[in-house]
Amino acid sequence: MPELPEVEVVRSGLARHILGARIDAVEVLETRSLRRDPGTAAEFAAFLRCQKIVDVCRRGKYMWLRLSAGPEDAAPQSGPCDPTAVVVHLGMSGQVLLTEAGAPDHRHLRLRLALTGPGGNRLDMRFVDQRIFGGMYRDPVVGVVDTEGQAVPAASSSVLDLAEIPATVSHIGRDPLDAHFDEASFRRRLSRTSSGIKRVLLDQTTISGIGNIYADEALWRAGLHYATPARSLTQSQAEELLAACTEVMTAALAEGGTSFDALYVNVNGESGYFERGLNVYGRSGEPCKRCGALVVRERFMNRSSYLCPVCQRER
């Protein structure tokens, strides 16, 4: 499952290439990729046709497009956005690729958006998904305010920084790289639950963008066992853990995300290389880079957890 760094690499790549582009046509090759859309494939295609892409946004692992049906010669940031966003969810194996118009189809191509860029160049935005767990769908936006009732940017990453978010994404918490992430609120959430700390990190309503890989990596950096009760962490430990989450995702972003196979690539079809810098994930039986003990793999929530049994003793 792509995590924050992977989705952000895709989002930023799209933002560099398709802001201001006009959607000329939409081709739906697999209707299951629209399972969460409120209408038919024909209605989805008709809604997008002739609209302009004015923003590419992300919160946690979710990404969405903001559209504007303004004058063709208008700047991408001018005019109001359509009150309906188009959510792009990668699921387990989804990829959003940009290709030249007319390039050969990918094997698992599900959706194709034919675009005309601001400079008149023609290109395709293609949603490729081997397992068909991801997809695209229309979703009305809702307003976002802070604790004092002031409108604040809803997305962790975007161009326009609008105080609006798709309704189905509104429950997703902010991520540690978000300028509006509330560290004090995060520590309070930890103090109120006896759940294991990894379970809390994977709860996208508490802190978003962290999946199995980066949870294991952050816990190793912080020297914490995955089953440590969240409420048992001291303030210092909670701060160290949050810093570790930020560090590991920042490092992964710099390397373009983590890829173990061909299912995660950026918009140009290139894999990320952060797996070379992983300290515990996927390294069962190899020496811990900190103390030399052998890394172990244990079952946790129907998935694998990797840890150092010396550096991360269960308390």
Structure tokens at 299: 């079952």
188 HSE (CA, 13 A, CB side): 4
The verdict on whether 83 is a catalytic residue reads: no
3-state secondary structure 65-123: EEEECCCCCCCCCCCCCCCEEEEEECCCCEEEEEEECCCCCCCCEEEEEEEECCCCCEE
The verdict on whether 303 is a catalytic residue reads: yes
Q: Which residues pair with 59 in a beta bridge?
A: 62
Locus of tokens 């359509």:
82
The verdict on whether 61 is a catalytic residue reads: yes
11 is in an annotated binding site: no
Q: What are phi and psi of 218, to 5 degrees?
A: -65, -40
C-alpha dist (Å) from residue 199 to 1, 195, 206, 250: 16, 7, 10, 21
The verdict on whether 107 is a catalytic residue reads: no
- 59, 61, 110, 198: the catalytic one is 61
Buried b (16+ CB within 10 A) or exposed e, 158-175: bebebbbbbebbeebbbb
Contact 57, 67 (CB under 8 A): no
Count of residues making up the chain: 315
Q: What are phi and psi of 43, to 5 degrees?
A: -70, -40
- 298, 303, 313, 314: the catalytic one is 303
- 3, 6, 8, 217: the catalytic one is 3
∠ CA 171-145-168, nearest 5°, is 25
DSSP designation for 229: B
131 is in an annotated binding site: yes
**Which residue ranges make up the annotated binding site for DNA?**
108, 131
Task: Give the residue numbers annotated as catalytic, written as ranges.
Answer: 2-3, 61, 303
